[in-house]
Chain A
């Protein structure tokens, strides 16, 4: 069965500093990979996704993530964080190599809570 590990429960970063959130996955083949953000009182919002091709993917709000097959990782980065980035971040996977008609629910990690210091 596939699984996702986010080793950092909490991360504190100063406003304007760079950010990296870690994500490791366990799956027999290359899965499809996602990062979602959850702000208080709001639903989960997709930041970016990786299916294939270029291993560095760009997302919304200035975020990017890099897929590293050799490390089974998909870390999220941002060069300079803003106070509004404070939220819960979730890495998720779903089986790759599939389209339409079958089970494609997401398997989420436990999340990383990002705190921004002024």
Chain B
């Protein structure tokens, strides 16, 4: 079974530029999460989708971050404009049906460096 796929794996941009990350969850998984992991810290949830609907985006900085999951499968996370403090690893995770009883499977992440 293929795992969660993410691309690109690395990205370097200058501040005020825009960037987009892509995630393809495990086939059949209804729930998709985006986490931000700053160096030296644990991952922090940015947004959770159930199929193509947003369940929780309370920690998403909506002035610069946006995310979509139009067809309920893959997802895109965008930052515009990027700030220095956005340098982090962006992790995508998916689970089969949603709910804490379901295991979240994580992708390898996209490492972003903002200069």
Contacts and interface: CB of A to CB of B under 8 A. Distances in A.
A65 to B, nearest CB: 15
A28 interface: no
Interface residues of B, number: 29
Interface residues of A, number: 30
A106 interface: yes
Contacts of A46: 103-105
B48 A103 contact: yes
A100 B30 CA distance: 11
B72 interface: no
B67 interface: no
B21 interface: no
Contacts of B44: 108
Interface in B88-115: 91, 93, 97-101, 103-109
B8 to A, nearest CB: 15
Interface string B7-50: 00000000000000000000000000101000011111100101
Given A44-B106, A103-B48, A105-B33, A94 B100 contact: yes
Interface of A is mostly: loop
Contacts of B98: 100-102, 104
A16 interface: no
Contacts of A110: 40-42
Given A51-B101, A100-B97, A106 B45 contact: yes
A21 interface: no
B91 A43 contact: yes
Nearest to B109: A43
A83 interface: no
